[in-house]
Structure 1
Amino acid sequence: MKRQNDWYTGIDHYSNYMERDIQVEYMKISKPTKQSLHERVEMYYVLSGEGEFMVNGCPCEAKEGSLFCLYSHNFYYISHVRKCLEMVCVRFHIGLFMYMSWEKHPGNANAKLVYDTKPVVRLTGREKTRTENLIQDLLEEQNSDRFERKNMIEYKTLELHAYFCRYAFEQIGEEEQGAEKERKAWDIILKIVLAASSTPSLEEAASECGYSPVTLNRRIKEACGYTFHQLVQFGKVINACALLHFSELSIEYISDLLEFASVQGFYRVFAQYCGMTPRQYQKTQVGDDGFAAGSESVALQFLQYINLYFYDDITEADLAHKFCLKPYTVQTVIKKSFGKSFEELLGQIRVSYACGFLQSTDKSILEVSTMCGFSSLSTFLRYFKCHMNQTPGQYRKSMGGPEAG
């Protein structure tokens, strides 16, 4: 068989592509650097030392085992060097990653990898060992002139980037799980504040969300600054503040509705949180802006404000103005904490007060709708059915409430 020395291969089309231009550099950084533009992906692996990268204005710790992946939209510089950073930098064009990504990912996964992942992962154990071996192989190939050297650098660069994508993508899942845990805590917080007249015990609330009582108590404290018991008391007080705006409701009636053991106990708890008695609050604050932002989390302050003014025509813009925040920030905080829009949260709070009025007064459904701030009876009926799975009339009958006069 005749030997053929020259073969036509894909290299004839690929040899001049910039994707083949990969740089592997060992470096030691002992002082901060300046920010500079970079067109290529720059991956840093920290072999030793301690410092800090500033990426798009956010600090990222750099220490042994840190693997950075900085795309062209990641503007960065090294802001602090506490101990000389020994690192390896691998630079390549993003087209290399795009060209070689054969695996089909879930929808939007690639966009998440580029825009939603954090620019650094911290490696330990087997992941750290595997990455360091890759880094050493890259350095060795970079400094050699062996056959297939460039291909080996390409393969190992792709492997390094693929590992970063794996670790960073899994980190998104971990963060989402963390956000879900926080959301569970806020679900309980919302229930406690809205149902202060029939609040579940800590054990009942913990059982409902699958936590131990100690864990739930800790998560509530982390989320809003109050323990479970303090939150129950706080919820009763802000419900009382809202109800005190209705002059036809007596202090004794409000105390009973919120299930205080006695009027004296109601006065004591109210004064503890508001610095005044219910009667003083009614005389000095009703008709004025009686809301005073405390040291609680901003989400809890939003909840307090909505509870106080649920019967008014309040909007998301009102919250933004009151708290000197951008409307987008208000929207983001409410969505993150309560998992719903401002309008949905306001509707739920109004329905919770409507339930109290339906159960405890003989006012007509239309009167209750108006008292609770609904713009029309049809809107009230729609929100009530959505949250309670029954009509206001059915709810009043099931709860043994008085017939409307």
Structure 2
Amino acid sequence: MPNTIKSRPICGSPVHSVFTGKDKYLRLQKHTISDITPPICENESLFILVNSGRGTITINGVEFPFEQGTFVWLQSYHTFTIKADSDDPLELSICVYDYPLSSFLALREPSPDTVDAIMVALPVIRLEGEYLQKIRDLYDEFEKEDSCFDPGSSLIKVSILGQFSYFFIKHSIRQNQEDQSRDWPLGWQATLYIGSHFAEDITAESVAERFSTSASTLNRELRNISGYNFAHTLNRVRVNIASGALLYEDMSLSYVAEHSGFSSEVAFYRIFKKYTGTTPLEYRKQMLESGEKVYRGMIMSQMLMDVLNHSYASFSSPIDIKDTSKSLYLSESVIRELVQEKFGASYKDITVLTRLRHAAALLLTTNLPVLDIAVNVGFNCSRSFSRAFHKLYQMTPGEYRSLNRGGENQ
């Protein structure tokens, strides 16, 4: 298929911290856009849902329709501009996807499908019907927790962000398979390549050679779509990866530097301070200090992340702490101490909470009988499920479904 997509140049230098910032972690934002934004290049990842309105979003020089049901996952290597039609303002719901709290992608080797979905497939998908309703319900659930700033509420929000990413990846993989023949502009392809090979010893010359062009042409194209040349683009990606890794409890500076692609700790320190205005340790200290109405206490060790990930991945199975202990080769006492120290709860409490949140989503988005839902999320019988559900929500599963679905007779 011939390349019919041409890069759209940005107008002006990119701005930062429009939708991100220390006070916006784990918070739902709602924005109305009635004109056009300046070019934006955030240092965090964002989920954006268009609730109403019509317009366009231009990402790394490529324009996409932006209308009701559009769901976007933007990364820190994206420079974007949002434009609303003059007579149809855009109403947006936005969440910062906080990688250190929500994802293993920064520290673990993701599966090939995940790499394809995030790095290759489009950052924009169009949702309709039950798929759109599911994401809306998750945004609504996220918003309900906005008045709480405690570990339990934060855990729920992290789980919702994880569901966003899982949902997006599944749909992006399918969309990517249908879009294999599309030919993208040089700037788009080169930015994705830099974003997925940041840890390697790449140069403008080596990347340009890969795309059968010159380093000067590559730099000109990157500046055209993002305002940054190759070196600046690569350093931004590496600094943003390092920023996430710094917030794990057991990550040494030498490991963070190596993981992020820096040639040495000295280079890491110098470049990090140049791009953030602070040293790595100063950045860590600032980010771990809780701001107003912000909970940042969930920065955790890899070991605890392993425990929580196992709980999330296995919530529909009748697992208990013994199963987790065997699967992760950790003692039960270590697991208990880790969970209790961070969340003030038992491992069983965390597992039950995960199951109940998934059950609530099924009650809102499906017509499955309560018994089927109970079994689906890992309860042995409907009685124990209903009892646990009532304890959390102060109502039965049937009452919850009726109340939140407008009194429908299910």
TM-score, structure 1 normalization: 0.39
Q: Which has the higher contact order (CA 8 A, sep 6+)?
A: 2
Relative to the length of structure 2, the TM-score reads 0.39
